[in-house]
Amino acid sequence: MREFDAVTWRGGLKGLGVGVGLSAGGHFLLQRSSLRYKALPLPAKAFGAMLVIVPAVVIMAERAGIAYDHQRYSKALEGPGLAAVHEKERLRKEKLSKGDQALEWADKNKFSLIGVSWAGSMVRVPINNFC
């Protein structure tokens, strides 16, 4: 359990770095280019930064934990029949149409799609209001 916690913390810290980098870059860009953004009080600017930082930390920590679980527990499934299962899955994916492949990808990455959609809407609001 300690290994899982360490991996999750490491992923969260990477997310913190990404979130701070994105929010700081956005802040400096808006600070230089928008008079409306300059007029905002500091708490509003900090709230905007938190709208980027917190989801980045949570998403990257969760992805790190899932990757660790997958790496750790998929080894338990290794055996002589695993290669046949992978080959069967590869053949199934080759037969799918582009639309079905897109739907399968969207199903596997639904939380990322939700997060990106939300982040895109959060980015669009300041652009519409402050630029």
Mean pLDDT of 44-58: 92
Q: What is the pLDDT of residue 17?
A: 96
pTM: 0.64
Q: Give the pLDDT confidence score for residue 119 in this predicted structure.
A: 78
pLDDT in tens, 65-97: 999 988 887 766 666 677 777 788 888 888 888
pLDDT at 60: 93
Domain borders along the chain are 2-130
Residue 14's pLDDT band (cuts 50, 70, 90): very high
Per the rule left: phi > 0, alpha: psi between -120 and 50, beta: everything else, 62 is alpha
The set of residues, in sequence order, having a beta carbon less than 8 Å from that of 115 and lying 6+ positions away, is: 55, 59
Whether the Cβ atoms of residue 113 and residue 59 lie closer than 8 Å to each other: no
